[in-house]
């Protein structure tokens, strides 16, 4: 899964920070052009997203960081929110077909079993999701540049880290 780069904007309680992420292009980050052409986009050029993440590496406000999320966690969440309700609906369908065969109200009983199985599947899926999702929060994978490194980066012809001989020391540090 691709990581997202952003700037830490606020320190929060419990080892969490707020990160401002500005996607590099419009559309869904990491999705193909084919997918982006078929969906309603939630990001546009110049938009930004604020997200609360776990600060496992000790980043500070102003640090440029890489935010990531475990792929296994996403699969677990999808299985809980999609797989369990699907299984509940399928079980309801199977039981409805088995028990309604030959009855005069067979279609009604079949619909009740399918709806009941789906409802039980949704409730079970949401409860499983609530148990497994807290461990799947996004986290800061690494600090790309600290706030002091960002502040000392040259901006065009301006260099904030000049040596005594007039050369720019930051250009050697950041290969600009």
Total number of domains in the chain: 3
pLDDT of 142 reads 82
Using DSSP's 3-state secondary structure scheme, residue 127 falls into helix
pTM: 0.52
Residues 54 and 141 both lie in one domain: yes
* 27 and 14 part of one domain: yes
Task: Write out the chain's pLDDT in tens, 176 residues.
Answer: 467 788 888 888 888 888 888 766 556 655 666 766 666 555 555 567 788 888 888 888 888 888 887 777 778 888 888 999 999 999 998 988 888 777 777 778 888 888 999 999 999 999 988 887 766 678 888 888 888 777 666 665 555 554 555 555 444 444 44
Q: Are 2 and 66 in contact (CB under 8 A)?
A: no
Q: For residues 74 and 72, what is the distance between their CA atoms, to the nearest angstrom?
A: 5
Structure confidence by residue, pLDDT tens digits, 67-113: 887 777 778 888 888 999 999 999 998 988 888 777 777 778 888 88
Same domain for 127 and 90, yes or no, is: yes
95 with 113, same domain?
yes
Range of the domain at 122: 72-135
Contact 151, 142 (CB under 8 A): no
* Same domain as 124, residue 77: yes
> Are residue 90 and residue 131 in the same domain, yes or no?
yes
CA distances from 100 to 29, 62, 85, 86, 107 (A): 47, 64, 22, 21, 7
Q: Are residues 95 and 64 in the same domain?
A: no
Asked if 84 and 110 sit in the same domain, the reply is yes
In a shared domain, residues 164 and 141: no
CATH code of residue 57: 2.40.50
Residues 86 and 124 in one domain: yes
Output the pLDDT for position 124.
93
């Amino acid at each position: 899964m691709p990581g997202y780069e952003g700037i830490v904007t606020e320190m929060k309680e419990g080892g969490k920070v707020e990160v401002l992420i500005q996607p590099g292009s419009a559309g869904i980050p990491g999705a193909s052009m084919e997918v982006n052409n078929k969906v309603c986009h939630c990001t546009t050029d110049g938009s930004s997203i604020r997200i609360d993440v776990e600060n496992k590496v000790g980043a500070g406000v102003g640090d440029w960081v890489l935010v990531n999320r475990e792929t296994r966690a996403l699969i677990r969440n999808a299985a809980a929110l999609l797989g369990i309700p699907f299984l509940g609906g399928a079980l309801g369908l199977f039981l409805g077909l088995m028990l309604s065969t030959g009855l005069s109200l067979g279609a009604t009983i079949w619909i009740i079993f399918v709806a009941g199985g789906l409802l039980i599947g949704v409730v079970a899926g949401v409860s499983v999701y609530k148990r497994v999702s807290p461990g799947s929060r996004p986290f800061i994978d690494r600090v790309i540049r600290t706030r002091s490194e960002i502040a000392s980066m040259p901006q065009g012809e301006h260099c904030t880290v000049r040596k005594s001989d007039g050369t720019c020391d930051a250009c050697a540090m950041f290969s600009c």
